[in-house]
Amino acid sequence: MTNIAHIGGENGFLPSSSETYGDLFDAVTPARPGEMLDAPLDQPLVLDLDRTLVRTDLLFECLAAALARNPLVILFAIFWLMQGKAVLKRRLAQAAALDLDRLPVNEAVVALAAREAARGRTIVLATAADELMAHRIARRFAFISRVFASDGTVNLKGAAKARVLRQAFPGGFVYAGDSHADLAIWREASEIVAVGAGAATLKAARALGKPMLAMPGTGLSGAVLRKAIRMKQWAKNALVFAPVPLAGLVFDMSAWGHALVAFLALSLIASATYLVNDLFDLADDRQHWTKRNRPLASGALRIEYGLVLVPVLALAGFGLAAAAGLKVLAVVALYTVVTLGYSFGLKRVAILDVTTLAGLFTLRLFLGVIAIGVVISPWLFVFSMALFLSLSIAKRHTEVVRAALHGKAKLAGRGYVARDEPLLLAMGMGAAMSAIVLFTLYLTSDAARHAFYSAPNFLWVTPVALFLWLGRVWLKSQRGELDDDPVAFALRDRPSLVLGGMLGLGFLFAAFGGPLMSAVGL
């Protein structure tokens, strides 16, 4: 019993309306031998919910949603847990405002259930999640005819669930579950469906000697973890290294070492804040055409793992920052406060959101200055603010353009509507031109004063390359072809990489080209 056919949307996001499932049976591909359950059709297929029918866990979904509304709910959660897990689930179900229609589902399990329902088998949902949630989720699936769930008093898990199912279906049943706790139910079942179960659980299930179908689930992997903490976004933190060459310390290994510690500290903190943002933004991300593929939103990374990773990464980051000195620690702490402020509210305020993002980029540059203890031209800070304001607006402009292409009048979780597109285009292009002008003013008034530049005229390649690159970014954004993140776009776009190489060569010749020019008589 393998090769279960998949139906539904990308990454487990099936249509949100229960009406969509009215014709679901007609969409199921015909089964080949070995793809159907062996149990008699009068025995129901009983589906677990958490990590089985859906790719996530309702308890932690509720906890994350409740924390997003009020972080102090964690204190109440501890008190509710002391009264019993069933009480905790009921209270969190009442406190959370979950969009259950957009929870990512396990497509293979849905396909199996739909096929078996089309054959005439009764499909039942039996879950330890609270019944307030279970009945609402069941309405998404036309094939579910009966629901068993925790009721605020009894936590329907393990032996308790096995007892209820044995009494409800004395003639036998097939049970689909995922965890070690489901072994108690599988002992009572006539046939086993193990969904994404671990090796130890699979071994124990096979030892029961019953017909068994092992189906894929989602497991923690290095790729998923790297995507969750957004290691690719660490490239943005490379701004911390910029003050080293700008201060003429290219060959100072101590300066590079101090900058590296600051970079790692900031990157770990940034990853922790990304996870916080994703945990509190699950509902909005699941409505987004690309963000719904993020590990937490898609169910590829368990919410409980995310909740653990946040303090681990934060403690490691602050530990490194403290080792680098109190000034570095203070800047990293400021970055954390501003980032969390952005995640908790500023990102929903139009214009202020992109200004905050630009400020965070400039704060990275300032951290590098503090880490190596130098002074750089204030022109570069102003230039940085204008440049990254343009890129931040480009990110939001792209989202607004794509939202309009998807027929949405408003950008979910942000303070923009489709009609804001011309305004964002004007502001973004204005900031881009300002950045070029500011760098030109730096060249004419300040760059030549620095002894580090032996041939500062080579820096004139910078405004040209910047104009070409920013023009390309905004052209792509206006056409709806830009990645949501312009920085990520630049890292894989060949023309952007070529222009970046021009900038690098211009800086190298500006710094070390003087002796070469003298040698050739120029």
Supply angle C-alpha 303, 309, 313, rounded to 5: 155
Q: Looking at residues 99-122, what average pLDDT do you find?
A: 91
Residue 4 is predicted with a pLDDT of 34
Write down the pLDDT at residue 21: 39
Helix axes 73-82, 58-69, angle to 10 degrees: 140
pLDDT bracket for residue 15 (50, 70, 90): very low
Lowest mean pLDDT among 214-223, 293-302, 334-343: 214-223
Q: What is the pTM of this model?
A: 0.80
In the structure, what pLDDT confidence band is assigned to residue 233 with cuts at 50, 70 and 90?
confident
CB 162 within 8 A of CB 187: yes
Reference 506, options 465, 469, 472, 473; nearest CA is 465
What was the pLDDT predicted at 98?
A: 81
Q: Given this model, what pLDDT does residue 24 score? A: 43
Is the model's pLDDT at 423 over the cut of 60?
yes
CA distance 97 to 325: 42
Characterise 2 by phi-psi region: left (phi > 0), alpha (psi -120 to 50), beta (else).
beta
Q: So what's the pLDDT on residue 452?
A: 65
**Can you tell me which residue has the tokens 């959101």?**
353
Q: What is the distance between the alpha carbons of residues 207 and 1, in angstroms, rounded to a whole number?
A: 18
Which range, 203-217, 309-323, 407-421, has the best average confidence (pLDDT)? Answer: 309-323
d(C-alpha 37, C-alpha 122), whole Å: 12
Residue with tokens 């590079």: 256
Query: Radius of gyration (Cα) for the chain, nearest Å?
Result: 28
Alpha carbon distance 477, 484 (integer Å): 9
Q: What does the mean pLDDT of the chain come to?
A: 86
What is the tens place of the pLDDT at every residue in 362-420?
999 999 999 999 888 888 899 999 999 999 999 999 888 888 877 787 877 788 888 89
Structure tokens at 133: 């949630």
Both tokens assigned to 193: 């469906």
In SS3 terms, 389-435 reads as HHHHHHHHHHHHHHHHHCCCCECCCCCCEHHHHHHHHHHHHHHHHHH
Average pLDDT over residues 51-79: 88
Beta pairing, strands 212-215 & 191-195 = parallel
Give the other-Cβ count within 10 Å of 121's Cβ.
21
Beta-carbon contacts of residue 102 (< 8 Å; ≥ 6 apart): 13, 16, 283, 286, 287
Contacts 24+ apart (CB under 8 A), 429-434: 429/390, 429/474, 431/386, 431/387, 431/389, 431/390, 431/393, 432/386, 432/387, 432/390, 432/470, 432/471, 432/473, 432/474, 434/386, 434/390
Per-residue pLDDT at 5 exceeds 80: no
Q: How large is the average pLDDT for residues 16-41?
A: 52
State the burial class of residue 391 (Cβ atoms within 10 Å of its Cβ: 0-12, 13-18, 19+).
Answer: buried
pLDDT(302) > 50: yes
What CA–CA distance (Å, rounded) separates 88 from 155?
Answer: 10
Hey, CA dihedral for 223, 229, 233, 238, is it positive or negative? Answer: negative
CA distance 492 to 232: 11
Pick from 134, 143, 142, 137: which is nearest to 113 by CA? 143
User: What is the predicted pLDDT for the residue at 25?
Assistant: 40
Q: Which helix (H) or strand (E) holds 215?
A: strand 212-215
**Confidence (pLDDT) at 519:** 52
Q: How far is it, in rounded angstroms, from Cα 251 to Cα 257?
A: 11
The 10s digit of each residue's pLDDT in 470-516 is: 999 999 988 888 876 787 788 888 999 999 888 888 888 877 765 55
| Residue from 471, 469, 472 nearest 499 by CA | 469
Contact indicator for 445, 379 with CB cutoff of 8 Å: yes
Alpha helices in 70-212 (DSSP H): 73-82, 85-95, 107-119, 131-138, 159-168, 183-188, 199-206
Band of pLDDT at residue 22, cut at 50, 70 and 90: very low
Quote the CA–CA distance of 240 and 224 in Å, as a whole number.
26
Identify the bridge partners of residue 229 per DSSP, sorted by sequence position.
none
| Percentage of the chain lying above the pLDDT 90 cut | 55
